[in-house]
Amino acid sequence: MAPLSGITILDLTHVLAGPFCTQSLQDLGARVIKVERPGTGDDTRAFPPFLQGESAYFATLNAGKQSIALDLKAEADRAIFERLLQRADVVVENYRPGVMERLGFGWEALHLRHPRLVYAAVSGFGQTGPDASRPAYDMVVQARGGVMSITGESGGPPVRVGASIGDIVAGMYLAQGVLAALYDRERTGKGAFVDVAMLDSQVAIQEHAVAIASATGVAPGPTGARHPTITPFATYRAADGFVVIAAGNDAMFAELCAVLGLGIAEDPRFATNAARCENHALLKRLIETVTLGEPVAHWLAVLEAAGLPTARVQDMVEVLRDRQILARNMVLPVTPHPGGPKFVATGNPIKMSTLPEVESLPPAPRLDGDRQAILDWLDRGD
């Protein structure tokens, strides 16, 4: 049995932050029932790219979930939702603060009727504070949370991180909060309210930027691929592309110098990490005078043989073929519906001795496709 077997989650979320959270919990064994809008369902059902008219984006975020379409303003559907609440362990929603309260399904109302229920909400700015009611998307919180100010090349315009980390990180924190609330319920017998803001989550992941700004009073700027407080820790040009070299301490730097044939390990300009950070531009030029002479494959072999952390900068097509990623079941086929398209999705990065590894994923649900099965389950009471 998977760790969350027996846990039922009502998933009222759409797009990314909430579905990312519930997909993580589904991967750990929870039963996730998507409660979707009648007619359109989750917005991502209409997001490209498409295969045979179905969204690959939706398929990768909702594999193995069930779907029932309910209008929470309609009495008949509200009655069904009430029955679902009686069987659920967790409700997850990502509406603006106040929406669920107006429907009569906010935390306080549900906690009175279902005291063991865990209620998890993810929103742009959280449930409290002067801006709680404002709308937000990934790029909004990347900007306001400071992430865009440190992303990109020095002197260039602000750049959004390529992955939607505003949503994804919030989804990860929400999943952590749900797990903590479920554990706490085992001790107290009562559910808790979990409130995660996308903006808060962006602040929480900026360890070096917060340290620099608080210690110096100066806002750090973008450093491209270079780490702002460790050098050499960046991409370097080879004859046919770029190679990452990450020498995280003085011993590694000395080994790197030996590999490259650079007699600068004890040069006062480079002998300590602080000195290397101060002279990072000069050090980069010295390293690239050597690395430009050979292709990436050569440097990967040489650096790996010396035990130095290194990597090729891979595109996503290469990532999907990477032997280590495949060996860890991190790219998996999604079992298609009969006659449906064949998708692939990311696997579960959490590996546990009590969590069976899988080699394929169940299909994402068709909109309202599990209504009868869910209603039968409610009637049976099992």
Active site (catalytic) residues: 227
Q: What DSSP state is assigned to residue 363?
A: P
Handedness of CA 117, 118, 121, 126 (dihedral sign): positive
* Block residue for tokens 């949503």: 167
* Block residue for tokens 């035990």: 307
DSSP 63-116: TT-EEEE--TTSHHHHHHHHHHHHH-SEEEE-SPTTHHHHHT-SHHHHHHH-TT
In this structure, the chain runs to a length of 382
* Block residue for tokens 């603006």: 96
Q: State the Cα–Cα distance between residues 336 and 235, nearest whole angstrom.
A: 40
Provide CB contacts within 8 A for 167, sequence distance 6+.
15, 16, 17, 20, 138, 198
Cα angle 295, 298, 300 (rounded to 5 degrees) comes to: 110
Buried b (16+ CB within 10 A) or exposed e, 284-312: bebbeeebeeeebeebbebbeeeebebeb
Q: Where are the alpha helices (DSSP H) in 124-237?
A: 138-144, 165-188, 198-204, 207-216
Tokens describing residue 146: 């400071």
Backbone phi, then psi, for 114, in 5-degree steps?
A: -135, 75
Q: State the Cα–Cα distance between residues 336 and 51, nearest whole angstrom.
A: 11
β-sheet bridge partners, residue 343: 334
The dihedral formed by the CA atoms of 110, 113, 114 and 118, expressed in degrees to the nearest 10: 20
